[in-house]
Amino acid sequence: MTLNRSWLMLSALLLLTAGIAQAQDRHERLIWSDEFNSGAPAPSLANWKFDTGSNGFGNQELETYCSYQSSQAPCNSAKPNAFLGKDGYLHIVARSDGQGHYTSARIKSEGLKSFQYGRIEARIKIPKGQGFWPAFWMLGDNISTVHWPACGELDIMENIGKKPDTIYGSIHGTGFTGTKIGQPFALPHDQAFGDAFHTFGLIWSPKKIEYYVDDPANVYASFTPSSLPEGAVWPFDDGKFFLLLNLAVGGDWPGLPDASSKFPQEMLVDYVRVYGKSAR
């Protein structure tokens, strides 16, 4: 009888351990990545497309977003704003012509790769300087039908250049746009995020959004439906979201470039990785 009890306890322990291991494996399984080291000159068309234009994108931004090797002024095909370097990084470059015209790049995986739940991260070195606004973020696949903000927005990393030691993680949706639901993370001892690469990540579960820096254990912000104001709608369980990477110039939040702003400035991306459920 003692032997049977011991065997049952051991069996239960093994099953529990196996269950935990399987759960961890499901959560940590790499299901998609772009390492930006293909040797091609431009981001993969299987993963990314370019947003283009100069309409301010709802934020009074100053830049014109250019596609790869666009020759339509102010874009310059000899000086692309997004390219894969021989160093193995994606370079997103903000440029100025010295006459008040700025160009940059914004790439997105809309219609190509989208995800829901799991862990999503990118290793990035951001620029420094007044008026620069690098971002790694996501939007709901249904944006073309329900529009923003109903589609939902996940801002995994944003920085405004005048605060080089601080990044921000936030969420947006119907009833909570702007800066209502967000959290900053600051480096200690006057360090700047532009001094080195850092990993910016999202842990996404049903009814829960968490953001971290450099290590999934280093969660600095956590949001649930209870974080929202009364009447707001939680959109993050409604479907898949696609990825965006961009470097804006100017805008309501970062302010204008000034005499201290040096051009060109680069946002370097080592990789984007997604762990969890399968991409479509």
Q: Does the pLDDT at position 15 exceed 70?
A: no
Mean pLDDT for the chain overall: 91
CATH of the domain at 238: 2.60.120.200
10 inside domain: no
Q: Does the pLDDT at position 16 exceed 50?
A: no
Q: What tokens were used for 184?
A: 């900053």
Is 158 a known active-site residue?
Answer: yes
Is 121 a known active-site residue?
Answer: no
235 inside domain: yes
Query: How many contiguous H segments (helices) and E segments (strands) does the chain have?
Result: 2, 18
Q: Does the pLDDT at position 280 exceed 60?
A: no
Number of compact structural domains in the chain? 1
261 inside domain: yes
103's CB contacts (< 8 A; 6+ apart) are 63, 64, 65, 66, 74, 75, 76, 81, 94, 95, 97
Q: Does the pLDDT at position 4 exceed 80?
A: no
The pLDDT value recorded for residue 171 is 98
Q: Does the pLDDT at position 17 exceed 90?
A: no
The pLDDT value recorded for residue 278 is 53
56 inside domain: yes
The pLDDT value recorded for residue 77 is 93
* DSSP code string of 78-124: TS-SEEE-TTS-EEEEEEE-SSS-EEE-EEE-TTT-EE-SEEEEEEE
Distance separating alpha carbons of residues 110 and 50, to the nearest angstrom: 10
96 inside domain: yes
**Lowest mean pLDDT across 89-93, 179-183, 206-210:** 179-183
Q: Does the pLDDT at position 209 exceed 60?
A: yes
pLDDT tens digit string along 136-185?
Answer: 999 999 999 999 999 999 999 999 999 999 999 999 999 999 767 999 99
Q: Does the pLDDT at position 7 exceed 50?
A: no
39 inside domain: yes
Mean pLDDT confidence for 75-80? 95
What's the whole-model pTM score?
0.89
122 inside domain: yes
Confidence band, pLDDT 50/70/90 cuts, at residue 22: very low
**Lowest mean pLDDT across 25-34, 165-174, 233-242, 261-270:** 25-34
The letter for the amino acid at 277 is K
pLDDT tens digit string along 108-139?
Answer: 999 999 999 999 999 999 999 999 999 999 99
Its domain, for residue 75, covers: 32-275
Catalytic hit among 158, 210, 230, 266:
158
The pLDDT value recorded for residue 148 is 97
Q: Does the pLDDT at position 71 exceed 50?
A: yes
Catalytic hit among 153, 210, 230, 266:
153
